[in-house]
Amino acid sequence: MQLPVINNAASEAPKGGCSAGSCGSTDDQMNHLPEHIRQKVFNHPCYSEEAHHYFARMHVAVAPACNIQCNYCNRKYDCANESRPGVVSELHHPDQAVKKVLAVAATIPQMTVLGIAGPGDPLANPERTFSTFSQLAEQAPDIKLCVSTNGLSLPEHVEELSKHNIDHVTITINCVDPDVGAQIYPWIFWKNKRIKGREGAAILIEQQQKGLEMLVAKGILVKVNSVMIPGVNDKHLEEVSKIVKSKGAFLHNVMPLISEAEHGTYYGLTGQRGPTHDELQALQDACAGDMNMMRHCRQCRADAVGLLGEDRGAEFTMDKIEQMDINYPEAMKMRAEVHAAINEELESKRLAKEAKVQLVSIQGIQKKEVTRPVLMAVATKGGGVINEHFGHASEFLIYEASSEGVRFISHRKTIPYCEGGDTCGDGESALDVTIRELAGCEVVLCSKVGYEPWGPLEAAGIQPNGEHAMETIEEAILKVYEEMRVAGKLETKADEQQKVA
């Protein structure tokens, strides 16, 4: 059985007619986009699922002030071990930030994108944000610039944004209904006043929508982030998705609420829970339609550095950067070579995929057996291959294999089991945490897995598999899925068969 790699196709859910998967097409997320957009995002790790295995990004924390309050944010919190938006260890002035970007870009040539994402709102700090951008546009023209905003002061800055060689803007839009907004935003600062409740939310929503329209009119790509808050906006986000899509946003990223009590946020302290993996996935699928959904967002720190999912920030503290001697024009040459090599690799992968599809269609689609979908977890350090030890993984990428092919679903964070110490609160061991996080997965693929976790994993119904080290993720998944099929492990359950028939 030949299976295509769906690679997060935009319209995974077969809604009658011809979905990307059932035709055996290998269209990946990016192929759905017009060429000029593809060109803008193919090497942007946040916008392209494929690119995120190869290209890195960094954020600089130059924008500490914020002009709204969100119930999931607490401005008092800063923890070096936390990875989530709004958290930073070192705040930079624009000149320092520029130095840091040059140092990182020279050291990590895979870095293609510099984003400003807070810790407050970049557009509530326009001088600091734009000073950083204009210096970089001049000194490091090979770096893409992007910005994330809550949207409140977006309309007044669209003109300026378009001058700074900014291809992408991310707007966090959690609602289009002020009654929903009132449950998310306690206040906004607007025209020299603090405006609370529904009235504030209404202004924020209006500004966000206006900003979105203005950016689209300027030809700037807009990604919309939404935080899924069960019982607050979960039912509402499908409508948000429809509206922003109709206005021209090109990617929607529905992210789970993070609300641990120890973060001290309103939601954390009032017991508002985040969504489960299943709830998040169901909403992402519901929003998908023919809109691109982003599923690999890591909700990074506002000072994150490196590939998504890794954080090399500690290598680039200000005192370390002061010691570095950076010749950027030289670095730029090296960067161009590295980028060309990655592009070549991606291109040859794409061609190989295409060749495979042709083979399938030449042979004629054999009567495809409908087998049940299986979730598999993968430990990877990047490069699109299985290259991380089970015990060292701080996150797993989750893929779904089915008779339609392989698609990327999400990532799940965990505590590296080898470093986790014996317990991490509540008497739960790091291994227990990982096993709990991997719930629903039937296989975990890694470069190596030790003897000790093997038993507990199997007992939890998760088959550890270290046989595909250094293989391409999708191909290894297909092989394992095929093995499961041959072993008779994929028979469609009777009730599901009824659904299909």
Partner 1 sequence: MALEIIESCVNCWACEPLCPSKAIYEAKPHFLIDPNKCTECAGDFEDPQCATICPIEGAILNEDGDAMNPPGSLTGIPLQKLAA
Indicate the pairing of strand 374-378 with strand 395-402: antiparallel
Minimal distance in Å, beta carbon 74 to partner 1? 8
CA 316/CA 108 separation, integer angstroms: 11
Residue 120 binds which entry of ligand SF4, partner 1, none, with Cβ cut-offs from 5 to 8 Å by kind? partner 1
Q: Which stretch binds partner 1 (CB under 8 A): 60-68, 223-231, 312-320, 373-381?
A: 60-68
Indicate the pairing of strand 187-190 with strand 193-196: antiparallel
Residue 92 to residues 266, 305, 318, 450, Cα–Cα distance (Å): 28, 14, 9, 42
Q: Give which of 93, 143, 86 is closest to 119, Cα–Cα.
A: 86
Task: Assess 302 for contact with ligand SF4 (CB under 6 A).
Answer: no
Task: Assess 168 for contact with ligand SF4 (CB under 6 A).
Answer: no
10 Å CB burial of residue 42 (0-12, 13-18, 19+) is middle
Among 10, 46, 105, 287, binds ligand SF4 (CB under 6 A): 46
Among 21, 85, 120, 274, binds partner 1 (CB under 8 A): 120
Task: Assess 454 for contact with partner 1 (CB under 8 A).
Answer: no
**Which of 265, 402 has the CB closer to ligand SF4?**
265
The token duo for 250 is: 């090109």
**Which of 75, 489 has the CB closer to partner 1?**
75
Among 40, 157, 168, 298, binds ligand SF4 (CB under 6 A): 298
Look up tokens 């470069």; give the residue.
447
CA 278/CA 99 separation, integer angstroms: 42
Q: Which stretch binds ligand SF4 (CB under 6 A): 173-181, 293-301, 312-320, 433-441?
A: 293-301
Among 14, 18, 95, 127, binds partner 1 (CB under 8 A): 127
Task: Assess 224 for contact with ligand SF4 (CB under 6 A).
Answer: no
Minimal distance in Å, beta carbon 300 to ligand SF4? 3
Among 308, 374, 406, 446, binds ligand SF4 (CB under 6 A): 308
Residue type, 37: I
Residue 269 binds which entry of ligand SF4, partner 1, none, with Cβ cut-offs from 5 to 8 Å by kind? partner 1
Task: Assess 65 for contact with partner 1 (CB under 8 A).
Answer: yes
**Which of 29, 125 has the CB closer to partner 1?**
125
10 Å CB burial of residue 82 (0-12, 13-18, 19+) is middle
Task: Assess 299 for contact with ligand SF4 (CB under 6 A).
Answer: yes
Task: Assess 57 for contact with ligand SF4 (CB under 6 A).
Answer: yes
Q: Which stretch binds ligand SF4 (CB under 6 A): 189-197, 296-304, 332-340, 353-361?
A: 296-304
CA 70/CA 186 separation, integer angstroms: 7
Indicate the pairing of strand 374-378 with strand 305-306: unpaired
Which residues inside 163-222 make contact with partner 1, applying CB under 8 A? 186-187, 189, 192-194
CA 188/CA 204 separation, integer angstroms: 8
Task: Assess 273 for contact with partner 1 (CB under 8 A).
Answer: no
CB 347 within 8 A of CB 43: no
10 Å CB burial of residue 196 (0-12, 13-18, 19+) is middle
Task: Assess 169 for contact with ligand SF4 (CB under 6 A).
Answer: no
Which residues inside 317-376 make contact with partner 1, applying CB under 8 A? none
Task: Assess 5 for contact with ligand SF4 (CB under 6 A).
Answer: no
Among 23, 202, 269, 338, binds partner 1 (CB under 8 A): 269
Query: Which residues, 6+ apart, have CB-to-CB distance to 270 below 8 Å?
Result: none
> What is the rounded radius of gyration, in angstroms, for the C-alpha atoms of the chain?
23
Q: Give which of 97, 111, 102 is closest to 63, Cα–Cα.
A: 97
CA 240/CA 479 separation, integer angstroms: 38
Among 283, 297, 457, 480, binds ligand SF4 (CB under 6 A): 297
Minimal distance in Å, beta carbon 78 to partner 1? 8
Minimal distance in Å, beta carbon 128 to ligand SF4? 14
Residue 456 binds which entry of ligand SF4, partner 1, none, with Cβ cut-offs from 5 to 8 Å by kind? none
Q: Give which of 344, 296, 319, 324 is closest to 105, Cα–Cα.
A: 324
Q: Which stretch binds ligand SF4 (CB under 6 A): 94-102, 291-299, 358-366, 378-386?
A: 291-299
Among 11, 29, 48, 69, binds partner 1 (CB under 8 A): 69
Cis peptide bond prior to 230, omega within 30° of 0: no
Look up tokens 């080290």; give the residue.
469
CA 316/CA 42 separation, integer angstroms: 26
Q: Give which of 396, 484, 381, 389 is closest to 446, Cα–Cα.
A: 389
Residue 308 binds which entry of ligand SF4, partner 1, none, with Cβ cut-offs from 5 to 8 Å by kind? ligand SF4
Backbone angles phi, psi at 106, to 5 degrees: -75, -35
- Dihedral sign, Cα of residue 34, residue 37, residue 42, residue 46: negative
Residue 184 binds which entry of ligand SF4, partner 1, none, with Cβ cut-offs from 5 to 8 Å by kind? none
CB 67 within 8 A of CB 189: yes
Residue 438 binds which entry of partner 1, ligand SF4, none, with Cβ cut-offs from 5 to 8 Å by kind? none
Site residues (CB under 8 A) for partner 1?
64-67, 69, 71, 75-76, 91, 120, 124-125, 127, 186-187, 189, 192-194, 266, 269-270
Rule CB under 6 A: which residues touch ligand SF4? Answer: 46, 57, 115, 297-300, 308
